[in-house]
Structure 1
Amino acid sequence: MTENKKIAIVGSGLIGSSWASLFLSGGYKVVLYDVGEAQLQTSLKHVHDNLVKLDEKGLQRGVLTAEEAFRNVSTTTDLAEALRDAFYVQESTIETVEFHVKIFAEMDALAAPETILASSTSTIPASQFTEHLKNRERCLVVHPVNPPLFLPLTELVPAPWTSESTLHTATTLMTSIGQEPIRLNREVLGFGVNRLQFAIMAEAWRLVADDVLSPEDVDKIMSAGLGPRYAFNGPWATTHLNAFGIRDYWKRYGPGARRVLADFGPTPSFEEEHVIEKLERSLNASMPLDSLKTFMANREESLAKIAKLKKE
């Protein structure tokens, strides 16, 4: 699929750079677009560093070395040039509806009618910014999980008018670069990842707000308990294994689950100052703001080890 196939990345920030690295590692030709040369040069450095990381950790998405893959990237500040002859476009720009309406209208006018236009947005349904486009059936959300280099899950979220062939091509493309695509059957706000993530965050917030648990212990529940358990088996597979099958689990534990869920408090505003102060004291003590880059690098290293283990 990769031979002579050009992919355009619109927006050269960290997510755009990550996408470029994955496509290049998978053997595709990639052109990076942004409004300024300085942003593009910064992105090129990120792309090269990412490709080297994939090489070093044995996580390449194809057969090319980092240097071979890097030779297939180019840059431009001309959107029309970026989209010319591209069969697929991955937009990774500003996370607002207004900007998505603007950039997708521009791309729709410039791209060939058969070009797929995909957005990396994490929460905005494609129907909110593609409804009036001429080629709207070629548009969808293709949302990665951060950091994409080491977390292969990718959500494919169609608008009501996204064509089946568009979904099929996007799924095939993601699979070809070693991503693990999942497909939502219809749009929901926040898609799958953030709906599950925000549900966890809401109860984590309530537990800290109500002085049931410290911020440190809430994190430990995930890092030393639920997180490792879910790393290889998701919640449904875990449930199936924690009893004599899924039916037996809910027969035993369904009433208890309903009682616990009924005890949950209202959705927090996430603006309660006393909770933010408590979280900030805890996190700034364990991960000072001036050292966040070091902790991000440590997280990457740990995720790379898990990714390599799962690959093996």
Structure 2
Amino acid sequence: MEINAPIQRKVAIIGSGLIGQNWAMLFASAGYQTSMYDVEPGQLQRALEGTRNQLTKYEQKGFLKGTGTAEEQAERISGTGSLQECLNGAFYVQECVPENLELKQKVFRELDALVGNDVILASSSSCLCASMIADGLAHMQNVLVAHPINPPYFVPLVEIVPAPFTSPDVVVKVRDLMKAIGQAPITLQRECLGFALNRIQYACINECWNMYKTGLLSAADIDSLCTNGLGMRYAFIGPLETMHLNANGIKDYCERYAQGAVRVQEETFHQIPVLYDTPTAEKIQDDWAISLPLQKLPERRAWRDNMLAKLSKLKSDEKSAENEELK
């Protein structure tokens, strides 16, 4: 299956919520004709209007990705209430329905009955494995998880998680496709609950939860620890490279600091799993009541996405400059 001529190729997006809209804009930015399907006509119309408006805003702010103007990219995105029409001519399908196992199983059974043998079926699931969703389907060898990180348009990581029955050729093709639309794919060598990003995220939240619950830090200071400390560093290098740079290589780091890290963990870490309990959650929410009450969450999410857009552009510009220096 060739994926090098995007203008002539079509992808299908199943579900037109925010994740589906982000996928549609990403594929359209790379030149793919993109069809969104939704059972709710009103939601579908809002999604088409939303993608067009977002692309226009991104163009105005200098955040637009890929090829063509915002208008040209918007014209590559269509919508339909017919699943068959959405799938006609598509070589790749990205499922974006809510994280509900029974719903995803139902959707994949419907897809399985309508697609040919060479169509790739990917789920946007954030925790559910492909083997839980598609085991026993006629085309299960073409099924895997391609998990985006919210918001996908500005956070490029995609976790590719094959099931034991997924064809290795499909894994390679999806990884190549993700690169072609400007994303940064990683490939898990086997299925596991939570995949990779959520496992690291949960470990971070666990310690934040414990520090708050034991009264070590306030909620605001815990977040500051990340945004003004770890987050700034990890936006450009990961924890393993950090170890490598903070000593004379990672081997030297471990020889210097490994025993100290063990002592810290033995003295301070709580046994897992850590339950994110409601009483503690209520206290944290009360701490945010003045600076970030619930009614301000949409405004804050928009601010978050705008800041991620700026960071994404900065990293893209830096990468382009580095590539120019290497020429």
* One of 173, 179, 193 as aligned partner of 1:175: 179
2:209 is matched with: 205
Equivalent residue, structure 2, for 1:13: 17
* Alignment deviations for residues 91-138 of structure 1 (CA, whole Å, 9 cap, x no partner): 000201111111111101111111100000100011101111111110
Q: What CA distance in whole angstroms lies between the structure 1 residues aligned with 2:288 and 2:8?
A: 47
1:74 aligns with 2:100: no
Query: Aligned partners of 1:240, 1:56: CA distance in 2, in Å?
Result: 40
| TM-score of the pair, normalised by structure 2 | 0.93
Partner of 2:36: 32
Tell me the equivalent position of 1:287: 292
Per-residue CA deviations over 1:185-238 (Å, capped at 9, x if unaligned) read 111110011000011011111111111111111101100000001000000111
- Equivalent residue for 2:275? 269
The corresponding residue for 2:110 is 106
- Return 56-65 or 21-30, whichever deviates more: 56-65
| 2:322 counterpart residue number | none
* Structure 1 unaligned residues grouped into runs of 5+: none
Helix, strand or coil at the partner of 2:282: helix
- Asked whether the equivalents of residues 57 and 304 of structure 1 are also in contact (C-alpha less than 8 Å), the reply is no
Matching of residue 296 in structure 1 with residue 301 in structure 2: yes
1:294 counterpart letter in structure 2: E
User: What CA distance in whole angstroms lies between the structure 2 residues aligned with 1:110 and 1:40?
Assistant: 21
Aligned length: 311
1:97 aligns with 2:101: yes
- Corresponding residue of 1:310: 315
- The letter for the 1-side match of 2:143 is C
> Secondary structure, in 3 states, of the residue corresponding to 1:94?
coil
Quote how far apart the aligned CAs of 1:87 are. Answer: 0.3
For the residues of structure 1 that align with 2:244 and 2:54, how far apart are their CA atoms?
A: 37
Q: How does 1:158-197 map onto structure 2 within 5 Å?
A: 158-197=162-201
Q: Match for residue 123 of structure 2? A: 119
Contact 1:84 1:112 in 2 (8 A): no
Rounded Cα–Cα distance in structure 2 between residues aligned with 1:75 and 1:229 = 41
Q: CA offsets per residue over residues 6-60 of structure 1, 9 Å max, x none?
A: 0000000010011001111111001110002101011112211232243234343
Alpha-carbon spacing, 1:180–1:152, altered in 2? closer, same or farther (3 Å): same
User: For 1:155, what is the secondary structure of its paired residue?
Assistant: strand
Residue of structure 1 aligned with 2:144, choices 140, 144, 150 = 140
- Specify the SS of the correspondent of 1:285: coil
Sequence identity, in percent? 45
Moved more, 71-80 or 136-145: 71-80
Partner SS for 1:134 = coil
Secondary structure of the 2:160 match is strand
Distance 1:41 1:189 in 2: 34
Partner SS for 1:278: helix
Q: Is contact 1:108-1:133 (8 Å) kept?
A: yes
What code does the residue aligned with 2:94 have?
Q
- SS of the residue aligned with 2:288? helix
Once residues 58 and 179 of structure 1 are traced to their aligned partners in structure 2, the CA distance between those partners, rounded to angstroms, is 18
Matched residue type, 1:304: A
Which 4+ runs in 1 deviate beyond 4 A?
none
> Equivalent of 1:130, from 120, 130, 134?
134
Instruction: Give the counterpart of 1:251 among 255, 264, 282.
Output: 255
**Shift, 1:61, TM fit:** 3.3
1:293 shift after superposition: 1.8
Farther off after superposition, 131-140 or 46-55: 46-55
Deviations 1:120-178 (A, max 9, x none): 01000111011111111100000111011111111100001111111111111111111
- SS of corresponding position for 2:122: strand
Q: Which runs of 5+ in 2 are unaligned?
A: 318-327
